[in-house]
């Protein structure tokens, strides 16, 4: 699961334990940001929005190197810290605002980009649930996700769109291109994940370009491991899951407890 709090040096303050619910608000012009927040921006953070935080703090939704983080301004306006602020139940109060202001818009744009790439559909074309995944042929966790998702795919409820990439090993691009060049790429993916077999045919110049394009989309999104899975909830919001999902998360991705 993505950690919203990479290690960074706070300016001066250690963050206290506090309770409350954060509510997202609009972002002022950069020139209006308090000096500590401007300092964090100069240190590499991108500020996406601000939100109300408990204890008199002001929260800022930010990102760095593709990872969402929260920064908090103290009531005096002179100090800030980057990190995780939890309530009395241990919940990260920045989770909602970061999803709304950073991850949500980014995921929605990536959803559009993925739809325009060359992906391999597995499952019924009329399936109401669409799931995208960046998959590397050498990724054991991609195989695990494929295996776990089969009941929903075979039921006709879910279609999975595989964006084949080549990032894990030297022969990953070659293998991904061979799958995309197969007469039946969906069957080639299934056979590969079942038996580790590759198609008899080799990749083509075109399929190699498709793999390169998919890989570039992934890199542009600052995603560095596979699988990366995207799905839409009932409200149309796009969510991202890194790695092979646990059973409860798998059911959320698939939109039902059982196929």
Query: Could you report the per-residue pLDDT of 5-25, keeping only the tens digit for each?
Result: 322 333 332 333 332 333 344
- For residue 132, the model assigns a pLDDT of 98
Identify the CA nearest to 72 among candidates 100, 102, 97, 90. Answer: 97
pLDDT tens digits, one per residue of 132-179: 999 999 999 999 999 999 999 999 999 999 999 999 999 999 999 999
Tens of pLDDT, residue by residue over 208-222, are: 999 999 999 999 998
Chain mean position to CA 233 = 14
pLDDT tens digits for range 184-197: 999 999 999 999 99
The helix (H) or strand (E) run that includes residue 203 is: none
Residue 239's nearest CA partner among 111, 57, 70 is 111
Structure-token pair, residue 258: 């059982």
Average of per-residue pLDDT values in the chain: 87
3-state DSSP assignment of residue 182: coil
pLDDT at 32 over 90: no
């Amino acid at each position: 699961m993505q950690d919203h709090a990479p290690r960074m040096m706070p300016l001066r303050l250690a963050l206290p334990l506090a309770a409350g619910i954060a509510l997202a608000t609009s972002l002022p012009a950069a020139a209006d940001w308090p000096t500590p927040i401007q300092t964090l921006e100069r240190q590499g953070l991108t500020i996406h929005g601000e939100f109300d935080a408990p204890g008199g703090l002001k929260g800022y939704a930010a990102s760095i190197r593709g990872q969402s983080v929260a920064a908090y301004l103290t009531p005096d306006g002179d100090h800030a810290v980057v990190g995780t602020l939890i309530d009395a139940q241990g919940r990260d109060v920045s989770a909602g605002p970061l999803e709304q202001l950073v991850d949500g818009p980014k995921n929605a744009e990536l959803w559009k980009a993925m739809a325009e790439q060359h992906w391999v559909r597995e499952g019924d074309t009329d399936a109401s649930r669409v799931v995208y995944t960046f998959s590397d042929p050498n990724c054991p966790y991609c195989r695990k996700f494929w295996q776990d998702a089969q009941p929903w795919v075979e039921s006709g409820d879910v279609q999975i769109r595989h964006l084949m990439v080549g990032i894990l090993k030297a022969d990953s691009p070659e293998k991904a291109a061979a799958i995309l060049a197969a007469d039946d790429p969906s069957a080639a993916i299934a056979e590969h994940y079942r038996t580790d077999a590759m198609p008899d045919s080799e990749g083509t110049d075109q399929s190699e370009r498709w793999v390169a394009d998919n890989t570039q989309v992934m890199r542009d999104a600052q995603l560095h491991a596979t699988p990366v899975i995207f799905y839409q909830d009932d409200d149309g919001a796009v969510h991202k899951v890194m790695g092979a999902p646990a059973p409860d998360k798998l059911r959320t991705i698939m939109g039902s407890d059982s196929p």
